[in-house]
Structure 1
Amino acid sequence: MMVRRCEFHLRRCILSFKLMMQGLPGSFSEDAALKAYPKCETVPCDEFEDTFKAVELWLADKAVLPIENSSSGSIHRNYDLLLRHRLHIVGEVQLAANFCLLALPGIKADQLKRVLSHPQALASSDIVLTQLGVARENVDDTASAAQYVASNGLRDAGAVASARAAEIYGLNILADRIQDEPDIITRFLVLARDPIIPRTDKLFKTSIVFTLDEGPGVLFKALAVFALREINLTKIESRPQRKRPLRVVDDSNTGTAKYFDYLFYIDFEASMADPRAQNALGHLQEFATFLRVLGCYPMDATL
């Protein structure tokens, strides 16, 4: 049903650049999409996996996907989706969050009994919401909260969402920057069917995923291939393998032992056009049991 909804929206403007996102217009994912491609047509979907499928089915040109947050850390579900699908990372967007408290026109903060938003936004705004003494209700994304308050005319409820959501859904901003930490940054990935051509005339980042055999020092060896070539690692993430979560190892002292079998995701600052990166991955392939380049893309150094 979701793909059908997206397809209907896309058919209205076949010639425009279409970018899929999770969440409604006014979401922070849409803010990230418009930062990367100011003239794109954003198309909402309900689930993160829907954004992958829409690009794979040629219903959209690209997708934008949140991958980590400076407050709550990595979004593990989306790491799993990167491996499950065959899209390529072609860009990244760093977005500074501005969580706003929204309500219907004429409603004051002391009239609110409850506040709706995504669980992460509610958790990140704990101090202000505790001071207000309001109940908290979880919804799928921040823009959905704003839409729900507006469309149902809720006079006792507010929403934590973006300033754009207030404009789109006709709500007032009662307070802005209500997050506990003043500088919350979310990193988004831009995904496409085809990779872009790596270059060396600007700063590039490369994302990979690999697995290793069990053994002493094997992870140290994997990381050393980058250190030996003075390549800076910006991200290391491990995720248990779903297809083979346990590795059985013979232990001479206690018999058979079982260990989690991990996938390792790494981001490093180098273009695949750089011989250092090519040599590092060639070295890593000598002992990695699986290696896949998820993408090589320009770094986003702006906020």
Structure 2
Amino acid sequence: MLCYSGPLSSTQLPNSVSAGSRLRVAYQGVRGAYSEAAAEKAYPNCEAVPCDQFDAAFEAVEKWIVDRAVLPIENSLGGSIHRNYDLLLRHSLHIVGEVKLAVRHCLLANHGVRVEDLQRVLSHPQALAQCENTLTKLGLSREATDDTALAAKYVAFNKLKDTGAVASSSAAKIYGLNILAEDVQDDCDNVTRFLMLAREPIIPGVEKPFKTSIVFSLEEGPGVLFKALAVFALRQINLTKIESRPLRNQPLRASDDSNNGSKYFDYLFYVDFEASMAEERAQNALRHLKEFATFLRVLGSYPVDTTML
């Protein structure tokens, strides 16, 4: 079994991995991160492998260092994780599942430190934003870190007496911190959706609810996006998400209307819809979309996560 003293970076990925029966699953962050909990929910009894950046997790799967990656794609309060949308297009991995994790933030500090002793708190920017009202009432200044668990690790290792961290109860246990307050998030409905990524796609089925994720681009013109979305509505296929991202390395394009003189960006559209690619209606919808899409790629067709943790 591999031992990891810290999160893997893209330049530190080993050339091979020792044999073993446990599934190796990459996640971004350090031990105690919410992403680690998501990986363990998605693949119970897996060997969770920390990576310092999202890019390193993608590369670890592609280079056969790990078997899977579990990475966040959207949060019910903070919205989409745009970096991972861009990486989905850049890499050739397939979405093979999803997992939803209820995020419960705790205020952590070293033992012997009271709430009134704290002057500042460290955490990921989204976590700090999700606890804004609570932290404001406590009169604490906020400083951002790359990861919630990394904030907890920093507070513990430096034995800080005036600084706390917003992180998980798991991080408190791992780094020997005291939980001063639980559920410090402003909204109890704080859920992050993670994607399960693999080198090969799964065979879609129809025996249970499936979701399909695609990305496509369109020519500029009146009603073109309406036409693209209509291919799903015409077949009673429900869309659960649509996200647009600028098409990278593409210059601004001039409008076809010579009298207008305006310029515009080219965009990619990421869409999730409730249907399996094993269903004829889904196949027909994408066949229809291909008639006017300038680019189309199926990112994955996978079972819907109907549980909550």
TM-score, scaled relative to structure 2: 0.94
Which residue pairs with 1:66 in the alignment? 72
Please tell me whether residue 295 in structure 1 is matched to residue 304 in structure 2: no
The answer to whether the 8 Å contact 2:237/2:273 transfers is yes
Matching residue within 49, 52, 76 for 2:55: 49
- Write the distance in 2 (CA, Å) between the matches of 1:244 and 1:5: 32
Q: CA contact under 8 A between 1:250 and 1:257: conserved in structure 2?
A: no
> Are 1:228 and 2:228 counterparts?
no
Q: 1:270 aligns with which of 271, 275, 285?
A: 275
Give the drift of 1:134.
1.6
Question: Map of 1:183-194 to 2, 5 A cutoff?
Answer: 183-194=189-200
Distance 2:255 2:228 in 1: 21
Residue number in structure 1 paired with 2:4: none
- State the match for 1:181 in structure 2: 187
How many Å separate the matches in 1 of 2:229 and 2:11?
Answer: 44
Q: Which residue is 1:21 aligned to?
A: 27
Question: Take 1:58 and 1:245, find their aligned partners in 2: how far apart are those partners?
Answer: 35
Match of 2:167 in 1: 161
- Residue 5 of structure 2: aligned partner: none
| 1:46-68 Cα shifts (integer Å, max 9, x gaps) | 11111001100000001111111
Which residue type is aligned with residue 145 of structure 2?
A: V
Cα contact 1:238–1:262 (8 A) shared by 2: yes
Deviation per CA, 1:32-55, whole angstroms, max 9, x where unpaired? Answer: 111111111111111111100110
Contact 1:107/1:155 (CA < 8 Å) preserved in 2? yes
> Where do 1:136-215 residues align within 5 Å?
136-215=142-221
Partner AA of 1:275 in structure 2: E
State the 1:131 CA deviation: 1.4
Distance in 2 of aligned mates of 1:251 and 1:227: 30
CA distance in 1, matches of 2:48, 2:13: 10
CA distance in 1, matches of 2:114, 2:18: 40
3-state SS, counterpart of residue 174 of structure 1: strand
TM-superposed deviation, 1:77: 1.2
- Whole-Å separation in 2 of the counterparts to 1:21 and 1:281: 31
TM superposition shift of 1:217: 1.1
Amino acid at match of 1:44: P
Pairwise mapping of residues 81-96 of structure 1 onto structure 2 (< 5 A)?
Answer: 81-96=87-102
Unaligned runs of 5+ in 1: none
Which amino acid in the other structure matches residue 7 of structure 1?
Answer: P
After TM superposition, give the deviation of residue 110 of structure 1 in Å: 0.8
1:102 aligns with 2:108: yes
**CA-to-aligned-CA distance 1:98-123 (integer Å, 9 cap, x gap):** 00001111211111111110011111
- TM superposition outliers: structure 1 runs of 4+ over 6 Å: none
Please tell me the residue identity of whatever aligns with 1:282. Answer: R
Structure 1 residues 3 and 238, CA, compared in 2 at 3 Å: closer, same or farther? closer
Q: Is the 8 A contact 1:6 1:45 kept in 2?
A: no
Q: Letter of the aligned partner of 2:263 in structure 1?
A: K
Match of 2:3 in 1: none
3-state SS, counterpart of residue 244 of structure 1:
coil
Residue 264 of structure 2: which of 259, 263, 268 is its match? Answer: 259
Q: Counterpart of 1:21 in 2: which secondary structure?
A: strand
Residue matched to 2:287 = 282
Distance 2:282 2:256 in 1: 36
C-alpha separation in 2, matches of 1:292 and 1:60: 24
Contact 1:6 1:43 in 2 (8 A): no
What per-residue deviation string (whole Å, max 9, x for no partner) do you get for residues 185-242 of structure 1? 1111011100000000011100000011111111111101000100000000011101
Question: In structure 2, what is the Cα distance between the partners aligned to 1:146 and 1:233?
Answer: 38
One-letter code of the match for 1:50?
A
- In the aligned structure 1, how far is the partner of 2:21 from the partner of 2:205? 28
The separation in 1 between residues aligned to 2:143 and 2:180, in whole angstroms, is: 18
Amino acid in the other structure paired with 1:260: F
Tell me how far apart the structure 2 counterparts of residues 243 and 4 of structure 1 sit (CA, whole Å).
Answer: 25
Distance across 2 between alignment mates of 1:258 and 1:3: 37
- Cα gap change, 1:238 to 1:245, in 2 (>3 Å): farther
AA aligned opposite 1:257: S
TM-aligned CA distance change 1:54 to 1:282, over 3 Å: same
Structure 1 CA distance, aligned partners of 2:179 and 2:258? 65
